[in-house]
Each structure stands twice: as C-alpha cells, then as structure tokens.
C-alpha cells in the first residue's frame, strides 16, 4: 500500500451538466463518495490521505457556487466528526485558512482540535490551497522567524528549511 494518496476532487460540474442539474448538485453528490473513500483509506491503514477540495484559483468561480461550497464543507465537517473519531482519523486543513469565511474557519478549527489526538490516518483537507502559495508562505515564515531572531543576514533558503515550513511540516 502507498503511505499517502492524494485526490484532486474534480468532475463535479461535468457530472451535473450531463444531468442538466445546477453545478452545486454535482458538488453535493460528491460528498458521499468522499465519506466512503476517507473511511476505506483509514481502514486499509494508509498513513495519509490528501483531498484537494478548493484551490486558490477556485475564487474565480461564481459567488453563489463558492458560497454553496462553504455550506457543503460545513455540513460535511459537522456530519463526519463522529465518523472521524470512530476511525481514529486526524483532520488537518492545509492552505490559506485565515482567508476563509469566519464560520468555515471556526468549524475547521473545531474538527482539527477534536481530532488532534487521533493516531490513525491523517486526513489533509487542502482548502484555499496552491502549490506556489504554499512555497511563498513557507519562505515568508522563514523570513519572519529570521527577523524575530535578528539573523536575517545569515538566512539561507534550504530544502530542509522549506520542508520544515510547509503546511504539512511534521
Ligand atoms: C471539482 O469539481 C470540485 C470542487 C472544486 C469542489 C469540491 C469541494 C466540495 C464538494 C466541498 C466539500 C468538501 C469536502 C472535502 C467534502 P469541478 O467543479 O471542478 O468539476 P468540473 O471539473 O467537472 O468542472
């Protein structure tokens, strides 16, 4: 078995279009398979599963679609918490979480806190995530630390340093 599987959530819009449904119906239909995949991966003993749910580019979508996605995410988090606990899954949100609507942040934080002691599979939810954004955030965190410690002149950007400052560090 691989240690880590990452899934790009995709095709929800096309699924809805084929059926002449609004796009949000496709997103809604995508939630139940997520539950099955998460539970199955945890039971198979995977170390980590990453779900790419919302990229930094997704802000370009219509406002009502984005609002529907936040509603669905909050619904998913609330409904899945008992399932995550039962399966010993630790949920971690990765991405620029601080830019999400406050109620979404609060719900994510609540589930992260409640599952923090779980020792089974780690479920990374990539939300407001971008590969380049993650690197920018890592380098800025290194700069901030160096400034705080007063050794900006000596700062060297290394692979190890970047690894330590990625959203998944540790
Ligand atoms: C991709 O389909 C899917 C998304 C951008 C959103 C997925 C997120 C949720 C359903 C929110 C709930 C989150 C979880 C983890 C349950 P698309 O619209 O890009 O489809 P297309 O490729 O057919 O256009």
CA of 31 to the centre of ligand 1 (A): 9
What six digits make up the tokens of 30? Answer: 């995508």
Q: 13, 19, 75: which to mutate for ligand 1, most atoms within 8 A of CB?
A: 13
Which runs of consecutive H residues, i.e. helices, occur in the chain? Answer: 12-18, 23-44, 63-86, 102-115, 131-149, 159-165
Whether 137 is catalytic is no
Return d(Cα 142, Cα 156) in angstroms, integer: 9
Return d(Cα 65, Cα 27) in angstroms, integer: 9
Output the residue whose Cα is nearest ligand 1's atom 12: 73
Contact (CB, 8 A) for 17 and 91: no
Prediction pTM value: 0.92
Output the residue whose Cα is nearest ligand 1's atom 22: 11
Which residues contact ligand 1 via a Cβ below 6 A?
9-14, 27, 30-31, 34, 51, 53-54, 58, 69, 72-73, 76, 125
Residue 169: predicted pLDDT: 86
Phi, psi of 150 (to 5 degrees): 70, 25
Task: Give the pLDDT means over successive 10-residue stretches in the chain (170 positions).
Answer: 95 96 94 94 97 96 95 95 97 96 97 97 97 96 95 93 91
Return d(Cα 76, Cα 110) in angstroms, integer: 13
């Amino acid at each position: 078995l691989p240690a880590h599987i990452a899934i790009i959530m995709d095709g929800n819009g096309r699924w809805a279009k084929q059926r002449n449904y609004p796009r949000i119906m496709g997103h809604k239909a995508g939630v139940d398979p997520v539950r099955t995949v998460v539970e199955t991966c945890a039971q198979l003993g995977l170390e980590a599963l990453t779900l790419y749910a919302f990229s930094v580019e997704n802000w370009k979508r219509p406002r009502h679609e984005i609002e529907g996605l936040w509603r669905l995410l909050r619904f998913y988090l609330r409904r899945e918490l008992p399932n995550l606990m039962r399966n010993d899954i630790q949920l971690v949100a990765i991405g620029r979480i601080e830019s999400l609507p406050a109620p979404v942040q609060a719900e994510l934080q609540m589930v992260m806190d409640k599952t923090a002691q779980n020792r089974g599979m780690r479920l990374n939810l990539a939300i407001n995530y971008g590969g380049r954004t993650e690197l920018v955030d890592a380098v800025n965190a290194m700069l901030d630390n160096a400034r705080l410690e007063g050794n900006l002149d000596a700062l060297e950007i290394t692979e190890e340093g970047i690894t330590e400052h990625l959203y998944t560090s540790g």
